[in-house]
A and B are shown apart, each in its own frame.
Chain A
Amino acid sequence: MAAVVAVALSFPSMAPSPYELTVGIAIVNYAVLSTSWNFVGGFTGYISLGHGAFAGLGAYTTALLVTKADLPSFAALFVSAALVAVLAVPVGYAALRVRGASFVIVSIALVLIMLLVFQSWSSFTGGSRGLVVPRPFPGMLRSEHHEVFYFLFLALLAVALLTWWIIDRSRFGMGLKAIREDEDKAQSLGTPTYTYKLVVFVVSATFTALAGGLYGLWFGDLDPVFQFSILSGAYMVLMALLGGVRHLYGPLLGAVIVGYGLEYSKLEYGDTPLHLVFAGLLLGVVVMFMPDGVIPAATGLIARVFKTGETSIREVTAAELREERGQGGAEPAPGSPGQKREVKQ
């Protein structure tokens, strides 16, 4: 753990060229995005394919606040995150009224609608000509600029991970996980499922918008086709699922693997349609064969190889069972709850 942090912190000074540093920034950016996605996807099990819209909105609102309202760059970043959070409320309201399928449909629709709006409304957003974001630190050299943003992204990642960790251990997080396992039961046990889902959706949108806004300030040039691409939302899902949605570091691990692969193939092969094929195949393989991600798959494999892990079925002898049930008590009838075999999730 400490070693990973040390490597992450010293990466800018070790990176042989500014190019490696930009790859590092891109990967940390992916990690923030997929960790933000995981607030909804990991806790509640609702899979959003439209989180790209929140990142794009964060980037565009930040840029527009800087250029049109003359706000200082970082004030604009936080104002834009607050605006996106406000917008996420009605979106979540519509999306979370019903279960699963409609949520995914709304999330995809959100990206498509934003793409339409930002392309068509070119007098305000620049349309397909793009929108240039002024740099926050005008006097800085390019390499220093990269270095500063690398640490900013890293700080945002730390905050996102910490928030995830806190929610994970809270009563709120318990409620969210109950929704993931069985929403009907959670509701009947008194969990305010709808409010919980909405709150975590807004938290997730806010972090995504912060990451998007920071990206906008760093990259300095926005185009609706890339900002509101369904693909960027799909990458977040892929990274989180590949790493493991139930683990704090799952999305981070997925982002390092997929992000490195993306940047490497961009360098080696340029932009070809085969990117889509590989992303699609990888997503398909993850969904089919390891929907829980590499972390559980790897730990499961280690447990199987070294035979250290507990099995999922508790083995008890009849004698032990009798002892456990308390002597003298009447034997429960077959099929009653007492006979239920305990299965670990």
Chain B
Amino acid sequence: MALHQLYHPTVARLTYRGLLGRRRAAVLFALPALLLAISIAIRALSGADDQTAANVLGGFALATMVPLIGVIAGTGAIGPEIDDGSVVYLLSKPVKRHVIVVTKLIVAIGVAVAFSAVPTLIAGFVLNGNSQQIAVAYAVAAAVASVAYSAIFLFLGTVTRHAVIVGLVYALVWESLFGSLIPGARTLSVQQWALALAQRIAGDGAINAQVSLTLGLTLLAVATVAGTYFAARKLRTLTLAGEE
């Protein structure tokens, strides 16, 4: 099926304006601003250093900022409409439910990439001028992770009112904490899958991922497709109970 058959510009417009018009959109601006501020400060204070660049981009950008922005973009693309019931105006139209989901996913990915991958790239150039391709590697990792996070959290947004909480727990506890403590958790970590790609792009030994490139890319694809599929399935039978 061609992409234009899966994309509805009106759904996209409503999603985009909803995402950037709500209060939680402030996080979308605050996190990249923080990353850039940190990068500028580090560069100014201690000069360009590849290891420092990798630490900042890996430790803050990819480990914390990218999943958080993924949570905001992914859940925010659909969750609030389901919560407050306004999704009824989308559902009561002769538009296929999977078109609604794919369109919202595309918007979520666009927003997530714009607010996480792009700042990551800029921060990388600020930190070490893309030495050893570290800036590009982390930016690409941030982009592919954004795709998977958007799909996963979009699905979460269709199944639970507490998608943001669940997403935050995943992003902060699973990815940041368990990921560094429990070896098994690393295999099931979007961050590690994306790192596998970053490892390939960057200079030898600059970045270390816990999973192989093949496994990483496969799992990224599986998570994205599964998230999209189940979100569409959920929306197809979404029940709007009355208030009584």
A-B complex is real: no
Listed in ascending order, the chain B residues whose CB lies under 8 Å from chain A are: none
Listed in ascending order, the chain A residues whose CB lies under 8 Å from chain B are: none
